């Protein structure tokens, strides 16, 4: 096999692992972001404090450090993760924390009249949050959430640090065998850039599709 043939076929395997990581951590981080935001705005003092503390902690730590703590330090406390799940857990927690900031801001920006009208119809707090508040907040927070997901795609390469055989790990390994860094790493760079660009365009379409007059982000 030529250099390119074997390189590309190897990269493909790594790319699939990267996609697996993202397929789990992207939707899970969005849910966590929504949940944390709701907990911070609507939770009682205790719950809101815990959620805020979690967000502040995860936003203060570099993702690398979070990841290394989860994989190397937590086993000392009896909490074990496989490399794959250590990475996925770190990504979900970190991205979810950042996303929750956008969602929380969006919830806060919604007029109290919306809540009053929901109550006047006889909605419970939960019905109000799921049917009235979150659909509006999500739309307003979407550009920010999109940004965080793009970051997540790029930072998924950090999974290599705990031994996950994803795209970058494969590229690095291949380079150690062949040592053609320019070809290998620029190809890898372009694959990531391609993924990020596709995701950006995809989310922009989603924003357009979900657009409602009067609910634009200002």
- Site for other proteins, rule CB under 8 A: 57, 59-66, 68-69, 72-73, 75-77, 111, 113-114, 116-124, 127, 131-132, 135-136, 139, 150, 154-158, 160-161, 168, 171-172, 175, 181-182, 184-186, 188-189, 192-193, 196-197, 212-215
Q: Nearer Cβ to other proteins, position 18 or 32?
A: 18
| Shortest reach from residue 121's CB to other proteins, in Å | 4
| Shortest reach from residue 47's CB to other proteins, in Å | 22
| Shortest reach from residue 28's CB to other proteins, in Å | 20
Count of alpha carbons within 13 angstroms of residue 165, beta-carbon side: 8
Q: Nearer Cβ to other proteins, position 16 or 73?
A: 73
Phi first, then psi, for residue 2 (nearest 5°) are -75, 170
Q: Nearer Cβ to other proteins, position 41 or 166?
A: 166
| Shortest reach from residue 88's CB to other proteins, in Å | 17
Q: Nearer Cβ to other proteins, position 8 or 69?
A: 69
Q: Nearer Cβ to other proteins, position 24 or 68?
A: 68
| Shortest reach from residue 51's CB to other proteins, in Å | 17
């Amino acid at each position: 096999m030529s250099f390119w043939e074997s390189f590309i076929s190897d990269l493909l395997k790594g790319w699939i692992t990267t996609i697996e990581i993202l397929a789990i951590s992207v939707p899970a981080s969005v849910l966590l972001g929504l949940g944390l935001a709701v907990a911070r705005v609507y939770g009682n003092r205790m719950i809101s404090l815990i959620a805020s503390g979690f967000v502040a902690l995860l936003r203060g730590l570099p993702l690398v450090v979070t990841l290394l703590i989860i994989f190397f330090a937590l086993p000392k406390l009896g909490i074990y993760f496989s490399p794959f799940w250590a990475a996925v857990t770190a990504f979900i927690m970190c991205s979810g924390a950042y996303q929750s900031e956008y969602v929380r801001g969006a919830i806060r920006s919604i007029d109290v009249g919306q809540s009053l009208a929901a109550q006047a119809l006889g909605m419970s707090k939960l019905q109000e949050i799921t049917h009235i508040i979150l659909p509006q907040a999500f739309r307003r927070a979407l550009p920010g959430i999109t940004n965080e997901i793009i970051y997540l795609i790029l930072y998924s390469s950090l999974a290599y640090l705990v031994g996950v055989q994803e795209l970058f790990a494969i590229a690095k390994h291949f380079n150690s065998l062949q040592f053609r860094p320019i070809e290998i790493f620029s190809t890898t760079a372009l694959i990531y850039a391609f993924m990020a660009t596709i995701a950006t365009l995809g989310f922009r379409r989603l924003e357009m599709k979900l657009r409602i007059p009067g609910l634009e982000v200002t």
